[in-house]
Every structure is written in C-alpha cells, then in structure tokens.
Amino acid sequence: MDKEISNQAWRQKILSKFEKLASDSKEQKGNFMGYRITVLEGVFSPFDFPSTAICVENLPEIVGPDVESFLEIGAGCGVNTLAVALNSGNLNFLCTDINPKAVANTNLNLANHNLPQKCILSDVFDEVNPDLKYQVIFWNPPFNNVFAKSDIASDMLLKAGFDPDYAALRKFFEQVKSRLTVNGKVILCTSRVVGDLLLIKLIAKQNGFKEPKILAEQVNQGMDLCLVEFKL
C-alpha cells in the first residue's frame, strides 16, 4: 500500500515536470559527465532528468571494447550512443527516435564529435533495416505505463516519459529478437518505483527472454534506477 502511494506520488511529480518542460523547454548546452552536448528544445534532457546518468556511466563498460554492433532505440539527445561510440574501437552503431527533434539532436551531437550522423526517425524498429543484426540493443524507455493515450498523444516530449500500458515496450520486446545476433543482448534502463520492473520482466518472458540480470543500480535525484540485461 505504501509503495503504491509512493508510486503515485512519483508519477504525479514526473508528470508535472514533463508538462512544465513541454511548455517551456529550451535549448541547453553544457558538459554532461564529460561529454560536451547540446539538448534541443522539445528533447528529453539529461540535465533535467536523472535516468541518463546511470546509462552514460555504465554503458561503455557493459558494451565493452570488443562489441562490433550497437543499436540504441529512443536516443534523445544522443549522449548514450556518444559515450559508447567514443569509448569503443570500431563500432557499427545506429540510433532511432520517434521524436524528429531528438533525431536532429542526436545527429548534431554525433557530428560535433566527428561521428557519423546515424540516427533515424523510427517508431521502435519500424524503419530499421531488418537484415542488420546487433550484438547489443539498448533503450532507456519511457518508464511510466500509466495515463490514457489521449493525454499524451499530441506531445512528443511527453512520449519520453509515458508509454501507456507499455504499448511501445511491448512492441520492442515482440520485435527485438529478430534484430539480435546469436548471443546478442538487450539492455534496458528502468526504475523500480516509477517504472514497473515486474511487468517488464513478464513482457520479456512472454517473448522468450530468460530471467534478467541487474547490471547496475543507482539512486539519483531520489529516483532508484537500474540497468537490466535480457538474454534469449
């Protein structure tokens, strides 16, 4: 019961934050954990939300120097892929986002670090070449699975935080299997309080994935965050 109350309180707090940002989001430039980035107006900002930090801190090591192919869904401003690509040898990477401003933003930050502008507009895997397979597929997805679709349908920034009934995440798990190499893995960021890890595990299991492994945990701005690995 207490946990349910705290879930609702968190979700309300996050919704208010997204609504405020959706109305007065503006371009930001700065150093995020060692990476010089621009965050365009209307794009999920690692300067305002706590989840990107655990990704940037841990992904380069999790992906490792030997991985050759990496796909990030929902890249936002692109700093996760930037961190992975700059810390790897010769990585073949691709990123996507459903938000056109996020696609432009990621390509801008990649170009500013002399990396190829390989972010494409796509709803999950819709526009990703089905012939290409990836060793690691990563998403820091919208954590909240609540609220009616009509509440957020019109606002791209709110799509960064809210995925009613986990429709997009369900689509991700239904399709990701065919995008992985043999022995490939999925890494997801989520939060036990704001997200629903039990439901995510269930969706993954229904799509053939084994019990996942927690690879990293962090409390940031009072939010519990984790990186979770899923294998077939």
Chain residues binding ligand SAM by CB under 6 A are 44, 46, 51-52, 55, 73-76, 80, 96-99, 102, 123-124, 140-142, 159-160, 168
**Minimum distance of ligand SAM from residue 172's CB (angstroms):** 8
Q: What is the DSSP letter of 165?
A: G
88: left (phi over 0), alpha (psi -120 to 50) or beta: beta
**Minimum distance of ligand SAM from residue 34's CB (angstroms):** 15
- Minimum CB distance to ligand SAM smaller for 165 or for 210: 165
1 class by beta-carbon count within 10 Å (0-12 exposed, 13-18 middle, 19+ buried): exposed
Query: Would you say 84 and 70 are in contact if contact means Cβ atoms under 8 Å apart?
Result: yes
**Minimum distance of ligand SAM from residue 1's CB (angstroms):** 28
- Minimum CB distance to ligand SAM smaller for 2 or for 108: 108
- Minimum CB distance to ligand SAM smaller for 73 or for 180: 73
Any alpha helices (H) in the chain, and if so which ranges? Answer: 2-24, 51-63, 79-86, 100-112, 149-152, 167-176, 197-206
**Minimum distance of ligand SAM from residue 22's CB (angstroms):** 12
- Minimum CB distance to ligand SAM smaller for 67 or for 102: 102
- Minimum CB distance to ligand SAM smaller for 75 or for 180: 75
How far CA 144 is from CA of 67, 162, 167, in Å, comes to 31, 5, 11
How far CA 168 is from CA of 122, 140, 172, 186, 207, in Å, comes to 12, 12, 6, 15, 14
Query: Would you say 46 and 216 are in contact if contact means Cβ atoms under 8 Å apart?
Result: no
**Minimum distance of ligand SAM from residue 9's CB (angstroms):** 20
| Closest residue to bound ligand SAM by CB | 74
